Amino acid sequence: MINSVLHQDLGLVSYQKVWDYQMVLNKKLIARKRAKGEDMDFAPFHYLLTCEHSPVYTLGKSGDMQNLLLDESQLSKSGFEFFKINRGGDITYHGPGQIVVYPIFDLEYFFRDIHKYVRFLEEVVIRVLAEYEVEATRKDGFTGVWIESNSGPDRKICAIGVHLSRWVTLHGLAFNINSDLSHFKNIIPCGIDSQDKTVTSLEKELGKKVDLNEVKLKIKQHFAALFEYKYV
């Protein structure tokens, strides 16, 4: 049975709006399981959402508030929103020029392996970057996608944080394309305070702006290839 995934590009949208929409889709998949049981003769639609967010900082359930370097008044004056959420990981930034991807998948129809799922998210980004001749990799002890350096700090280009309920996924990945990297200076990204690690973007690596729609298409294609589904 081949899974079907509905791809939706939500454009530039507030974090709260997409969070609410994720929850609707997540609960829809869980309710289907509760109503009909887990052994069903047809697969549900799954969802892959892409978007950009208005400037926002989000803190994962195991995160430390001290990694946010702005107080409430500074956040308000700077025009940033802030949310504590239920994904894994620490603090990160979302904003225009960054592609955020939210897979709402029932992993019972793919595989029951959280670690494999996170590795697949990383692999999507690694494969997209390879198409731009940017060599990226995973880093032991850290989630996300990195570009290693022999002469300077290793550079994180994609953050990942997920949450599962009854094997249905929430949250996902944040891929810096044309991101304003100065906004990461207001946090200790992902709680990693180290002189040999920093953040980067595809624009910075290539030295030029990148077509976001082109990257979104590549992301969708590699998701479909890795997870072996058809998209609509």
- Strand locations in the chain (E): 3-13, 45-53, 56-59, 81-84, 91-94, 98-104, 137-139, 142-147, 154-165, 168-176, 197-199, 229-231
Task: Report the DSSP beta bridge partners of residue 6.
Answer: 47
Residue numbers of the chain with a pLDDT score lower than 50: none
SS (H, E, C) 160-196: EEEEEECCEEEEEEEEECCCCHHHHHHECHHHCCCCC
Q: Is residue 158 annotated as a catalytic residue, yes or no?
A: no
pTM exceeding 0.85 = yes
Contact yes or no for 158/205 (Cβ under 8 A):
no
* 63: phi then psi, degrees, rounded to nearest 5: -80, 165
- For the stretch 27-74, pLDDT in tens is 999 988 877 655 555 567 899 999 999 999 998 887 788 888 888 788
Supply 75's token pair. Answer: 């956040």
pLDDT for the residue 223: 98
- Rounded Cα–Cα distance for residues 232 and 229 (Å): 10
pLDDT for the residue 115: 96
Check 124, 125, 190, 202 and give the catalytic one: 190
Domain ranges of the chain: 3-231
| 3-231, CATH topology level | BirA Bifunctional Protein; domain 2 (3.30.930)
pLDDT for the residue 37: 57
